[in-house]
């Protein structure tokens, strides 16, 4: 990426380019405008006769001009911004722009782009381009791409690795998804405890560069067992003649490769970590996790949780409609079935509703408020489950607490609802039934908002997946049953 240079009498001063997410937004708008113009040119060209050489020549010139404009825009961006632009384009435009991205950005963009968009990019690359892009990656980065790469490319890339890198790649591929082992990297600095800080400094100066996010150096013995950590800040301010063993920190957090990446993210948040060592069951240092990977985990978990609550999985927003149908239909069909059950419950009270027509308008309020109350509770419980705050010991305490809070909120809200019901019906009895049904249904929603995610988590399921659908089914069906049941008992 080119950088502006200001020439002075002594030496050129390089002005660094400021990274700004708005630059990517503006670049996307410019690209979309160019692609639209290109589409218009192609449409006009199709109307010309094939033998019109001048028309074909003009089309070719305009096409090359548009390609040059696109190259100038995308290749001046950070790889993360290029990834954002590619994710924001339909598949055919995404692949066309991808072909114009400089080869030097290929590896970084493939690592930055989301999984659903990466597949279409890899499909448009030939064998040699894929090998060239992955050949510059570290073993842990290659492991991230292996599920999307053709087997022959993976085999070819492995041939170009050293024995150590090949062993690291096989090790990284062996860990399950969503574990620390799947996100750790192998590039780190390690030293022995029986050397001086001056020796460590000389060793660091011999390196081409430090691994990203190096805030501490790992101290190991001859069997690579982790003994402690040496903060870089300590290394810089202490007397160079001091031994590592005298200033190293033995109070450190170490992760196991089979730990959950979500648990690791929670530890980073709790202890304000920049990096953490990963050790095996024998205490040997095998890798490290940095804040960069943890931020990705937090973002992915947040996105998955938001989608899971609606029963969805991540999808390409520009994918064919049939792909979206397979993603969205299952839980929508479940929701349809649950809504049908709620309708059946309401139909059992047809005589009641026919006698007091106003009940048909009020019962939707009871059901809706119960669902909203339950969703508030469920959101808090799912969040608490994600950070490990919910245990068997405090589950019942949480249920009681949410029921208490909901009863107080429900009492206040039901007074407002009862006043509204009395105002439009003129009946104090209908207002009283409205008040009681609303409190009962809110209590049911709160209880289920705690129980549903905890039970799903207990059975090894994602507590967020489809929970809102199940909650809505319960609060709708029971809300109708309670409201119309009370109305049948006391108003008919």
Residue 139 CA to residue 22 CA, distance in Å, equals 33
pLDDT at 227: 96
Please give the share of the chain, as a percent, with pLDDT higher than 70: 85
If you average pLDDT over every residue of the chain, what do you get? 84
Residue 119 CA to residue 149 CA, distance in Å, equals 8
pLDDT at 459 over 90: no
- Lowest average pLDDT, out of 164-173, 290-299, 319-328, 357-366, goes to 319-328
Residue 147 CA to residue 165 CA, distance in Å, equals 18
Q: 284: part of which helix (H) or strand (E)?
A: none
pLDDT at 236: 93
User: What is the SS3 assignment for 179?
Assistant: strand
User: What is the SS3 assignment for 6?
Assistant: strand
Q: Under a CB-based contact definition with an 8 Å cutoff, are residues 259 and 180 in contact?
A: yes
- Name the band, by pLDDT with cuts 50, 70 and 90, for residue 348: confident
Nearest C-alpha neighbor of 67 from the set 44, 45, 93, 105: 93
Length of the chain: 492
Nearest C-alpha neighbor of 96 from the set 18, 6, 35: 35
Could you tell me which residue, 333 or 79, shows the higher pLDDT?
79
- Name the band, by pLDDT with cuts 50, 70 and 90, for residue 5: very low
pLDDT at 44: 66
pLDDT at 54: 52
Look up residue 148 and give its DSSP letter: G
Q: Under a CB-based contact definition with an 8 Å cutoff, are residues 314 and 114 in contact?
A: yes
pLDDT at 389: 76
CA-based R_g, the chain, Å: 31
* Residue ranges of domains in the chain: 20-178, 190-308, 321-491
pLDDT at 8 over 50: no
pLDDT at 159 over 90: no
pLDDT at 404 over 50: yes
Could you tell me which residue, 380 or 278, shows the higher pLDDT?
278
Strands (E), 17-99: none
Copy the structure tokens of residue 51.
Answer: 């033998």
Burial class (CB in 10 A: 0-12, 13-18, 19+), 287: buried
The set of residues, in sequence order, having a beta carbon less than 8 Å from that of 475 and lying 6+ positions away, is 367, 370, 371, 374, 441, 444, 445, 448
The predicted model scores a pTM of 0.68
The set of residues, in sequence order, having a beta carbon less than 8 Å from that of 300 and lying 6+ positions away, is none
- 190-308: CATH topology: CBS-domain (3.10.580)
Q: Under a CB-based contact definition with an 8 Å cutoff, are residues 76 and 84 in contact?
A: no
At 168-221, the pLDDT tens digits run 888 888 899 889 999 999 999 999 999 999 999 999 999 988 999 999 999 999
- 20-178: CATH topology: MgtE N-terminal fold (1.25.60)
The set of residues, in sequence order, having a beta carbon less than 8 Å from that of 397 and lying 6+ positions away, is none
- Name the band, by pLDDT with cuts 50, 70 and 90, for residue 252: very high
Residue 476 CA to residue 451 CA, distance in Å, equals 17
At 447-458, the pLDDT tens digits run 998 888 888 888
pLDDT at 12: 43
At 290-313, the pLDDT tens digits run 999 999 888 887 777 666 655 566
pLDDT at 13 over 50: no
At 57-108, the pLDDT tens digits run 555 666 688 888 999 999 999 999 999 999 888 888 899 999 999 999 999 9
At 25-70, the pLDDT tens digits run 888 888 888 888 887 777 666 665 454 555 555 556 666 888 889 9
At 130-141, the pLDDT tens digits run 999 988 888 888
Residues paired with 231 in a beta bridge: 216
Count of alpha carbons within 13 angstroms of residue 439, beta-carbon side: 17
Its CATH class, for the domain covering 321-491, is mainly alpha
pLDDT at 10: 41
Burial 200-222 (b: 16+ CB within 10 A, else e): beeebeeeeeeeebbebbbbbee
């Amino acid at each position: 990426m080119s950088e502006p240079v200001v020439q002075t009498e002594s030496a050129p001063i390089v002005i660094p380019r400021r990274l700004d997410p708005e630059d990517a937004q503006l670049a996307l708008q410019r690209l979309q405008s160019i692609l639209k113009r290109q589409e218009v040119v192609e449409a006009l060209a199709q109307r010309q006769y094939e033998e019109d050489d001048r028309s074909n020549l003009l089309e070719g010139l305009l096409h090359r001009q548009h390609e040059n404009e696109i190259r100038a825009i995308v290749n001046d961006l950070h790889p993360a911004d290029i990834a954002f632009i590619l994710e924001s384009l339909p598949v055919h435009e995404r692949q066309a722009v991808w072909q114009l991205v400089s080869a030097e950005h290929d590896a970084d963009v493939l690592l930055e782009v989301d999984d659903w968009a990466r597949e279409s990019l890899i499909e448009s690359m030939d064998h040699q381009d894929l090998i060239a892009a992955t050949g510059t990656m570290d073993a842990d980065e290659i492991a991230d791409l292996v599920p999307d790469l053709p087997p022959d490319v993976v085999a070819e890339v492995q041939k170009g690795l050293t024995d150590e890198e090949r062993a690291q790649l096989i090790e990284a591929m062996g860990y399950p998804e969503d574990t620390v082992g799947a996100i750790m990297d192998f590039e780190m600095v390690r030293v022995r405890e029986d050397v001086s800080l001056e020796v460590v400094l000389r060793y660091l100066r011999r390196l081409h560069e430090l691994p990203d996010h190096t805030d501490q150096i790992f101290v190991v013995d001859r069997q690579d067992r982790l003994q402690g950590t040496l903060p870089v800040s300590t290394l810089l301010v202490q007397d160079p003649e001091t031994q590592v063993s005298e200033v190293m920190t033995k109070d450190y957090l170490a992760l196991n490769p089979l730990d959950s990446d979500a648990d690791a993210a929670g530890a980073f948040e709790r202890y304000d970590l920049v990096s953490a060592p990963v050790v095996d069951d024998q205490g040997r240092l095998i890798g490290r996790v940095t804040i960069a990977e943890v931020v990705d985990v937090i973002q992915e978990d947040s996105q998955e949780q938001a989608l899971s609550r609606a029963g969805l999985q991540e999808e390409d927003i520009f994918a064919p409609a049939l792909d979206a149908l397979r993603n969205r239909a299952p839980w929508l069909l479940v929701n349809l079935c649950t809504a049908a059950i709620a309708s059946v419950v309401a139909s059992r009270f047809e005589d009641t509703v026919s006698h007091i027509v106003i009940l048909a308008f009020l019962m939707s309020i009871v059901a809706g408020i119960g669902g909203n109350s339950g969703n508030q509770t469920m959101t808090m419980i799912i969040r608490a489950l994600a950070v490990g705050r919910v245990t068997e010991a405090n589950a019942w305490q949480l249920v009681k607490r949410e029921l208490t809070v909901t009863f107080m909120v429900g009492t206040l809200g039901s007074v407002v609802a009862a006043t509204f019901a009395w105002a439009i019906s003129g009946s104090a009895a209908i207002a009283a039934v409205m008040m009681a049904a609303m409190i009962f249904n809110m209590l049911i929603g709160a209880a289920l908002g705690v129980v549903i995610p905890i039970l799903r988590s207990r059975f090894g399921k994602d507590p967020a997946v489809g929970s809102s659908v199940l909650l809505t089914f319960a609060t709708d069906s029971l809300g109708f049953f309670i409201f119309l049941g009370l109305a049948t008992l006391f108003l008919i």
